[in-house]
A and B are shown apart, each in its own frame.
Chain A
Amino acid sequence: MSRGVPAVEEEDGEPEGPEQSVSAPAMQEGPERELSHEEFDPKGTLALILMYFTILVVMWVFMYFIEFLGNDLVVVG
């Protein structure tokens, strides 16, 4: 039996730490440590979102100036 689904019952019915997903492979490692709200600082998330935002703005500007203004008007009036 895989580790996601323990073959034996836990003594007190309390699983140790967060349980694993049923859809994860058996040898997948579980969490190593607990991070509380205070200890956790999502700086990676911030970086990713800022990157996404920059891409959005650049692409929008590109579309607007190259594709839209660069073409003849399609709809008039």
Chain B
Amino acid sequence: MSVERETFADRYPEEAELVRRSFLVAFTALGLGALFGIIQALHRTNVLRFIPSTDYYTVLTAHGVLLVIVFTIFYLVGLYQWAVTRSLDRSPTNINFTRAWLTLMTIGSVITGLTILLGFVDQIGISADVLFTFYAPLQAHPLFYTGLVVFIIGTWLAGVDWFRTWLHWKQDNPDERIPLQTFMVLTTMIMWYVATIGVAIAVLFFLLPWSLGLIETVNPLLTRTLFWFFGHPVVYFWLLPAYMLWYTVLPKLAGGRLFSDPLARVVFVLFVLLSTPVGIHHQYVDPGIAEGFKFIAMTNTMFLLLPSLLTAFTVVASMEHGARQRGGEGLFRWLTALPWRDPAFTGMALAGLMFAAGGFSGMINAGMNINYLVHNTIWVPGHFHLTVGTAVALTMMAGTYWLWPQLTNRRLYSRPIGLLQVVMWFGGMALMSNSMHVAGLYGVPRRTAEPQYAGFDFQTAFGSIAELNVQLAVGGTLLFVSTLLFLGNLALSLGNPKVDGLGQTLPEPLSGPDDSPRVLDNMKLWAGIALVLVLLAYALPLGAIVQNGGLFGTGGDAYPVSVLGRFDPGVGLDAVRELLGVGR
């Protein structure tokens, strides 16, 4: 076997095992999440109803948390472990540490996931129907927050692991530039550390003690603001692994090379700097935050268009490079020279296309005045099914088609099914998100099992609400089938015999890292500036919120979704309660 064809699994068997394990958790969550997704789509539109509407929030919480916390983040840690190991060509400093954080993350997710799912079983008296935006006044069972804490600590340790591996590499290679993939991992993690400050404070100091009954009330505006401090940058935590695949793998799939390594680095640094000081743009209609702060958040948000446009340019240019190397000509005809029959390529390209569409609805969301038009309508899920639900999720699935053979030494079960799967996702999402956007403009609300108000007709300019409902239901069904095809294809791949030589290399960029200033690699500097920017954006609004409402504020009585009060000691979990010292 030539060195070039050695796979990741050949070279790093233990690491490959860990990557497979994190993908396994990710894909389990994806399967469950898709199941809840189709239940919602059919229930909302009154096409098929088999759960009571009172269980809708349990379904919605499970859908949100399993997909945007468990699926995306477990895929991220798997991908990043692969990327750091591959690009530094080096094992973790201590692989037991790597195992430990992955185990912690898994335990945390299982605790949180079970707490949500127990909401279906009324007898047990545990539930957490607080949605993935788990701020007050909705209150969950303490186990929900406990699991989250364990999970987040796991992700922090993952970052520590990768920074440690890099520092050891640096000792051996003092004069080299950080390899691009490792650079992406490190910058993403800096952003994550900054972002999770908000959620850690919200959970540890407010939500968890409150759910345990240790404090009576919380200031809902404060927990909301702390949540969105984290809630916006977390979207880039989902997105950046997709960016890594677009920047480093997609050019190879297209048959070309990355257009510019320095531009890619600039984009990741911009995300570190700009992603956190914008969260207030989710709170345009929150009373209690001065318009001025909202305006600042809006301005900061608009700056985030810059890295996205840079990415669009760099990634498309890299694809064009591939197409022209494959003989593509003309202003647009080169598009036909791309390898459209490779599911990994097509999946990522379609994901990128949908991201461009999501860019439009994102701009509408970001505008302070025009946001009022769509706020809390189903337009918003329409937007983020294009971004996280497609740009991220579809890229991750497509990336798997390329990565999986190198992690298992087995070929994919079927490339045509893979191709069908990614195209079906694209088609299903085009229908579902289109109908969500349009219905949102007519004022159809999100997050409800019964979107029709009694005695109220939605005025449509053309078509009808019934037609939009059909689109949503058909789209959702296609998405569900597509997920099954993806999972089935992977599962069947495990039945293929092991073969040699599935290894792949990644081509060098056209313009390499030496063309970029060294200061880009200065992680401490970027982390420092990011913190200063966060301080500038948040110190005053948070100060005002606490001054007006107090740390533990007013009006924070729980909406009773937590049923700790009815906790049934007969179930055997009272030991846990004892341990936590809970008792009301």
Contacts and interface: CB of A to CB of B under 8 A. Distances in A.
A19 to B, nearest CB: 7
Contacts of B339: 21, 24, 28
Interface of B: 1-5, 252-253, 255-256, 259, 285, 309, 312-313, 316-317, 320-327, 330-332, 334-335, 339, 341-345, 356, 359-360, 363-364, 367, 369-370, 372-373, 375, 401-402, 405-406, 411-412, 415, 418, 441, 499, 501-502, 504-505, 507, 510-511
Contact of A23 (B359, B360, B405): B405
A31 B325 CA distance: 5
Given A10-B2, A18-B255, A31-B325, A47 B312 contact: no
A28 B5 contact: no
Given A40-B321, A71-B373, A28 B341 contact: yes
A19 B4 contact: yes
A15 B502 CA distance: 13
Interface residues of A, number: 45
Interface string A32-60: 11111100101111011100100110011
Interface string A5-32: 1100110011100110111110011111
B369 A33 contact: no
A23 B401 contact: yes
A23 B342 contact: yes
24 contacts: A5-B5, A5-B502, A10-B2, A10-B4, A21-B252, A21-B344, A21-B345, A23-B342, A23-B418, A24-B344, A28-B341, A28-B342, A32-B327, A40-B321, A42-B316, A44-B330, A45-B317, A47-B332, A49-B312, A49-B316, A52-B356, A55-B360, A63-B364, A71-B373
Contacts of A28: 339, 341-342
A48 to B, nearest CB: 6
Given A19-B4, A29-B326, A34-B325, A60 B363 contact: yes
B342 A36 contact: no
A44 B402 contact: no
A18 B2 contact: no
Given A9-B1, A42-B320, A74-B373, A35 B505 contact: no
Q: Which 4 A-B pairs have the closest CB atoms?
A: A13-B2, A42-B317, A23-B344, A24-B342
Nearest to B504: A22
A37 B326 contact: no
Given A13-B3, A28-B341, A55-B360, 20 more contacts: A6-B5, A15-B4, A21-B253, A22-B402, A22-B405, A23-B405, A24-B253, A24-B344, A25-B341, A31-B255, A35-B256, A36-B510, A44-B334, A45-B317, A56-B359, A56-B360, A56-B363, A60-B360, A68-B370, A75-B372
Interface of chain B: mostly helix, strand, loop or mixed: helix
A67 to B, nearest CB: 6
A43 B327 contact: no
A23 to B, nearest CB: 4
Given A33-B325, A35-B324, A56-B360, A63 B370 contact: yes
Contacts of B256: 31, 35
Contacts of A73: 372
A31 B356 CA distance: 28
Contact of B369 (A19, A31, A36, A68): A68
Nearest to B347: A23
Contacts of A55: 360
Nearest to B369: A68
Contacts of A23: 253, 342-345, 401-402, 405, 412, 415, 418
Contacts of B323: 44
A22 B252 CA distance: 11
A23 B339 CA distance: 11
Nearest to A39: B324
Given A18-B507, A42-B259, A43-B331, A32 B363 contact: no
Contacts of A60: 360, 363-364
